């Protein structure tokens, strides 16, 4: 499909006329955005129809990626890019005197995710489509995404994220494909001709209505589907006439209680437990998704015996684990299959990714909560547990300890990770070290029992959004230097290595970086009225605020640097701008206090005239996919300083690297694999290793007070939290002081402090040698192809899902 400039322009103007009855002169910016987006959508939709047709006919296996989160960001820019329309569109809009960036910014971010896990799902969808792979997403159409963060007086305040306020041009509501999801009630068991039958009675019915979003591949004809489910009251159950007068309020209450299911994305804090609504969300989308998959399967095939040859179901963390008992229920209660056949199909269809070893984050549901909300599902889980424990008994007779450690139901809870491992054929971690820790520590018992299920799939990011789209200047420079092959084969970025020491290439790279820094500086000036020096080191930590990610370690380094400069105003340091961004879960006090601390420190340092602007600190409000696209290209230093063993992979680390920033980090998650690629000379590694950390946890031997008492810098900094050095009206920072010292610093902030500061000093010196620094940047870009999600998805496709490309022809 080739579209001419004239044609594009004509269609755009027609859109304005047909949609709004306006000429270009009359149209508002939002009209222009809507017209442009719907034009692009029309092109995509044609390919969508063709893709669905070929998938239906081809008989190839398809994968469904079930995830409670898809952090898509804005879609206009990435759709233009994947449809090869970016240049054309720019030209046409320029002729019409429209700034495409301004138009793009009018779209709300689809912020249907917390952080890495949700963004990973979005990158995977992009890679699936771009690699011609038949793979679709299944999730919830939250009316409100992750809250919008405002900073008020230094504190985080949460506002609702009403991303659908102006409608969503990319989605198509499909009421004819709605399905019913049942909650509560009881199960009637009958014996029909010697066979037990199970009938769900007295349940509350919820209508699941799908909204489909097209996922266009890059420069191909593939358009896959992201299906997001919305909860509605079934018409028959919400018919005012059927309620007597007195029940009017009941009817309204019922409607709201149903709609609540897809109302809002839960922020990831530690207080899921007993949140029945969260469990409802999980079952709601899993049941709806599976019912629609089975319905489509039955249109294509007569027998279920080939189900797992045609369909793969992937569960993103434990959130969709109820897919296991739900598929069992559908196969047995609705399709009349026996347990053994149903179990075989289920455990050959479902695969599971684990995303954290943090025990607080491992989901479990109280038995009673699950049983009363999902009585039939509970019965099935109970049976899965019985059979599993019997198997365990056969292998480990008498080993009650082990059996109760591994049981799916134990201590009054249903343990979702256990259910996920037992009910799937593949369990993967998201970076080599994470998978190793899963096998050797967190899931050791399961690895002993099912060694063949465990495998690693290191995360990746789509280089299309995170380089091609986010950093057009760098992309052009790369293409001018090594040609365009890297766009389809990201590992070709390695050809840049030849230019690592090439001074004219370095000069160009330096120019690109400076321009990107200047764009970010402008944003910071406009938004916060703060001047920052674009020649200073842009030292950036953007990610969710969590104790284990150790924003506090970063803050303490800044405090120490500031103390040194105050003591010696002539101290020779490279000017630095420390940039933070990230949201704290609303119920996570320490994380929210960390934000307040950063902002307080920023106001002290930024207003101190005596330090001659050598240090600046900025907290970027409301970190999001769109903001991230501005930040990575402008960064010099990537802060990846989690306590070793705690960050399963990280994906921000890869986005920085791809944009030429140099990492300062611990040997944790994918940092290790980044180090293995770029080599020790092109990364700054410091701190405890994962094994050292795990040893401290197992055997003790760390006392935070020892460091407070022996390192005067640490003592000074911690005292500054409580002695009035920081304006601290509410006396709150003492809680950080107490947390670190009286709670023995569970994430080893103080223990790693000295190594971190030494390494930062090394980095400071290295930055002064411009050419050496640029060489490091080139090495990072050149090796980043390894972290394209195209590679990751290829490994999932071959190693787990067994799916093959389906090449879609032009309509
Ligand atoms: C949730 C919670 C909630 C309770 C408090 C502690 C805690 C810690 C972590 C989490 C997040 C769990 C799942 C998750 O988002 N994992 C992230 O997945 C990314 C994609 O694989 C990966 O890059 C990140 O390292 C991992 O943290």
List pLDDT tens digits, range 669-722.
999 999 999 999 999 999 999 999 999 999 999 999 999 999 999 999 999 999
Give exposure, 356-370, as e/b (b: 16+ Cβ within 10 Å).
Answer: bbeeebbbbbbbebb
> What pLDDT, on a 0 to 100 scale, did the predictor assign at position 236?
66
> What pLDDT, on a 0 to 100 scale, did the predictor assign at position 730?
81
Going by alpha carbons, the residue nearest to atom 5 of ligand 1 is 270
DSSP secondary structure string, 16-82?
Answer: HHHHHS--TTT--HHHHHHHHHHHHHHHHHHHHHHHHHHHHHH---EEEEE-S-EEEE--HHHHHHH
Q: Which listed CATH number (3.40.50.720, 3.40.50.300, 3.40.50.2000, 3.40.50.10170) goes with 59-74+109-424?
A: 3.40.50.2000
pLDDT at 542 over 80: yes
Q: Name which of 269-283, 391-405, 616-630, 640-654 the model is least confident about.
A: 269-283
List pLDDT tens digits, range 17-76.
999 999 999 999 999 999 999 999 999 999 999 999 999 999 999 999 999 999 999 999
DSSP secondary structure string, 460-529?
Answer: -B-HIIIIIIT-HHHHHHHHHHH-THHHH-GGGGGGGGGGTT-HHHHHHHHHHHHHHHHHHHHHHHHHH-
CB 734 within 8 A of CB 722: yes
- How far, in whole angstroms, is CA 549 from its chain's centroid? 15
DSSP secondary structure string, 217-263?
Answer: PTTSS-EEEEEEEEEE--GGGS-GGGS-GGGHHHHHHHHHHHHGGGT
List pLDDT tens digits, range 586-616.
999 999 999 999 999 999 999 999 998 999 9
pLDDT (average), residues 306-323: 98
Query: How are the residues of the chain apportioned to helix, strand and coil, as percentages rounded to the nearest 5?
Result: 55, 15, 30
> What pLDDT, on a 0 to 100 scale, did the predictor assign at position 238?
59
Q: Where are the domains of the chain?
A: 59-74+109-424, 470-687+752-794
**Nearest atom in ligand 1 to 642's CA:** 25
pLDDT (average), residues 487-503: 98
Same fold, 59-74+109-424 and 470-687+752-794: yes
CA–centroid distance, residue 117 to ligand 1 (Å): 7
**Nearest atom in ligand 1 to 669's CA:** 25
CA–centroid distance, residue 118 to ligand 1 (Å): 10
Does 120 sit in the ligand 1 pocket, CB within 6 Å? Answer: yes
List pLDDT tens digits, range 426-482.
999 999 999 999 999 999 999 999 999 999 999 999 999 999 999 999 999 999 999
Query: What homologous superfamily is domain 470-687+752-794 in, according to CATH?
Result: Glycogen Phosphorylase B; (3.40.50.2000)
Q: Which of 358, 428, 628 to mutate to test the pocket of ligand 1 (most atoms within 8 A of CB)?
A: 358
CB 755 within 8 A of CB 745: no
> What pLDDT, on a 0 to 100 scale, did the predictor assign at position 241?
58
**How far apart are the two ends of the chain, measured CA to CA in Å?**
9
539: tokens are: 């030292």
Does 156 sit in the ligand 1 pocket, CB within 6 Å? Answer: no
Does 36 sit in the ligand 1 pocket, CB within 6 Å? Answer: no
Does 669 sit in the ligand 1 pocket, CB within 6 Å? Answer: yes
pLDDT (average), residues 559-572: 96
Q: Name which of 151-160, 244-253, 415-424, 754-763 the model is least confident about.
A: 244-253
DSSP secondary structure string, 682-724?
Answer: GSEE-S--HHHHHHHHHH----HHHHHHH-HHHHHHHHHTTSS
> What pLDDT, on a 0 to 100 scale, did the predictor assign at position 271?
57
Element (H, E) at 589: helix 589-606
List pLDDT tens digits, range 727-782.
977 899 999 999 999 999 999 999 999 999 999 999 999 999 999 999 999 999 99
Indicate whether this model's pTM tops 0.95.
yes
pLDDT (average), residues 212-228: 98
Q: Other C-beta atoms within 10 Å of 344: how many?
A: 15
Give the residue numbers marked as catalytic.
Answer: 355, 543-544, 549, 651, 655
> What pLDDT, on a 0 to 100 scale, did the predictor assign at position 359?
84
pLDDT (average), residues 104-125: 98
- How far, in whole angstroms, is CA 287 from its chain's centroid? 23
Q: What is the mean pLDDT of the chain?
A: 96
CA–centroid distance, residue 303 to ligand 1 (Å): 39
CB 19 within 8 A of CB 41: no
> Can you tell me the distance from the alpha carbon of 543 to that of 15, in angstroms, rounded to the nearest whole number?
39
Where does the pLDDT of residue 274 fall: very low under 50, low under 70, confident under 90, or very high at 90 and above?
low
CB 3 within 8 A of CB 15: no
> Can you tell me the distance from the alpha carbon of 633 to that of 518, in angstroms, rounded to the nearest whole number?
11
List pLDDT tens digits, range 88-111.
999 999 999 999 999 999 999 999
Q: Name which of 303-312, 395-404, 707-716, 728-737 the model is least confident about.
A: 728-737
Going by alpha carbons, the residue nearest to atom 10 of ligand 1 is 361
> What pLDDT, on a 0 to 100 scale, did the predictor assign at position 434?
98
> What pLDDT, on a 0 to 100 scale, did the predictor assign at position 243?
56
CB 30 within 8 A of CB 106: yes
Radius of gyration of the chain (CA): 27
Q: Which of 272, 317, 585, 648 to mutate to test the pocket of ligand 1 (most atoms within 8 A of CB)?
A: 648
Q: Name which of 159-173, 290-304, 500-514, 718-732 the model is least confident about.
A: 718-732
| Residues in Cβ contact with 24 at an 8 Å cutoff, skipping those fewer than 6 apart | 13, 16, 32, 96
> Can you tell me the distance from the alpha carbon of 229 to that of 211, in angstroms, rounded to the nearest whole number?
6
144: tokens are: 């409100």
């Amino acid at each position: 499909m080739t579209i001419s400039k004239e044609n594009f322009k004509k269609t755009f103007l027609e859109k304005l006329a047909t949609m709004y009855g306006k000429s270009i002169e009359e149209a508002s910016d939002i009209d222009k955005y809507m017209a442009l987006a719907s034009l692009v959508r029309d092109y995509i939709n044609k390919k969508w129809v063709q893709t669905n047709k070929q998938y239906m006919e081809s008989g190839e296996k398809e994968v469904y990626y079930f995830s409670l989160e898809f952090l898509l960001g804005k879609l206009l820019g990435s759709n233009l890019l994947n449809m090869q329309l970016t240049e054309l569109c720019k030209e046409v809009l320029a002729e019409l005197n429209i700034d495409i960036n301004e138009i793009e910014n009018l779209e709300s971010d689809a912020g249907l995710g917390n952080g890495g896990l949700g963004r990973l799902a979005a990158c995977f969808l992009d890679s699936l489509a771009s690699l011609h792979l038949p793979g679709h997403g299944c999730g919830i159409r939250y009316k409100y995404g992750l809250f919008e963060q405002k900073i008020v007086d230094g504190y985080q305040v949460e506002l609702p994220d009403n991303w659908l306020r102006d409608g969503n041009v990319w989605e198509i509501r499909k009421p004819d494909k709605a399905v019913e999801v049942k909650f509560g009630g009881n199960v009637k068991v009958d014996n029909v001709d010697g066979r037990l039958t199970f009938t769900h009675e007295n349940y509350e019915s919820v209508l699941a209505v799908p909204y489909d979003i097209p996922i266009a591949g890059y420069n191909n004809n593939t358009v896959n589907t992201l299906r997001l489910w919305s909860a509605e009251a079934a018409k028959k159950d919400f018919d005012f006439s059927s309620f007597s007068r007195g029940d009017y309020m009941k009817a309204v209450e019922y409607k709201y209680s149903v709609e609540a299911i897809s109302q809002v994305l839960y922020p990831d804090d530690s207080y899921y437990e007993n949140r029945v609504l969260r469990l409802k969300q999980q079952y709601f989308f899993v049941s709806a998704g599976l019912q629609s998959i089975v319905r489509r399967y039955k249109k294509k095939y007569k027998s279920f015996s080939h189900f797992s040859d045609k369909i793969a179901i992937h569960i993103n963390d434990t959130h969709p684990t109820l897919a296991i008992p739900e598929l069992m229920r559908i196969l047995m209660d609705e399709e009349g299959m026996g347990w053994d056949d149903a179990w075989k199909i289920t455990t050959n269809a479902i695969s599971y990714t684990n995303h954290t070893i943090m025990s607080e984050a491992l989901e479990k549901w109280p038995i009673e909560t699950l049983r009363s909300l999902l009585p039939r599902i509970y019965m099935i889980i109970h049976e899965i547990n019985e059979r599993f424990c019997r198997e365990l008994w056969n292998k480990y007779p008498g080993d009650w300890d082990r059996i109760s450690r591994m049981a799916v139901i134990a201590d009054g809870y249903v343990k979702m990770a256990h259910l996920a491992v037992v009910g799937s054929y593949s369990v993967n971690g998201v970076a080599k070290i994470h998978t190793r820790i899963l096998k050797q520590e967190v899931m050791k018992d399961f690895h002993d029992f099912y060694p063949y299920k465990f495998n690693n799939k290191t995360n990746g990011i789509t280089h299309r959004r995170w380089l091609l789209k986010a950093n057009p200047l760098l992309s052009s420079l790369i293409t001018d230097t090594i040609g365009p092959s890297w766009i389809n084969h990201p590992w070709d970025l390695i050809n840049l290595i030849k230019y690592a020491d090439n001074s004219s290439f370095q000069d160009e790279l330096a120019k690109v970086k400076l321009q990107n820094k200047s764009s970010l500086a402008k944003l910071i000036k406009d938004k916060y009225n703060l001047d920052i020096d674009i020649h200073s080191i842009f030292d950036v930590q953007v990610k969710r605020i969590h104790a284990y990610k150790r924003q506090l370690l970063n803050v303490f380094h800044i405090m120490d640097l500031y103390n040194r400069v105050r003591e010696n105003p002539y101290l020779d340091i490279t000017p630095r701008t420390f940039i933070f961004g990230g949201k704290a879960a609303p119920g996570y006090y320490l994380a929210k206090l960390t934000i307040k601390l950063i902002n307080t420190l920023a106001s002290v340092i930024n207003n101190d005239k005596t330090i001659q602007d050598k240090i600046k600190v900025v907290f970027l409000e409301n970190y999001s996919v769109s903001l991230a696209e501005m930040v990575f290209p402008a960064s010099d230093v990537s802060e990846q300083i989690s306590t070793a063993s705690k960050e399963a992979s990280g994906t921000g680390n890869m986005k920085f690297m791809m944009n030429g920033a140099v990492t300062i980090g611990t040997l944790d998650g994918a940092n290790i694999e980044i180090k293995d690629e770029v080599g020790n000379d092109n990364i700054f590694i410091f701190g405890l290793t994962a094994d050292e950390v795990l040893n401290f946890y197992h055997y003790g031997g760390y006392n935070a007070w020892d460091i407070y008492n022996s390192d005067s810098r640490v003592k000074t900094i911690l005292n500054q939290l409580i002695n009035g050095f920081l304006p601290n009206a509410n006396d709150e920072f003492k809680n950080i002081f107490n947390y670190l010292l009286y709670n023995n610093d569970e994430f080893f902030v103080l223990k790693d402090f000295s190594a971190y500061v030494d390494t930062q000093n090394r980095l400071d010196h290295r930055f002064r040698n411009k050419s050496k620094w640029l060489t490091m940047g080139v090495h990072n870009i050149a090796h980043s192809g390894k972290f394209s999600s195209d590679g990751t998805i290829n490994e999932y496709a071959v190693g787990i899902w067994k799916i093959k490309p389906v090449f879609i022809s032009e309509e």
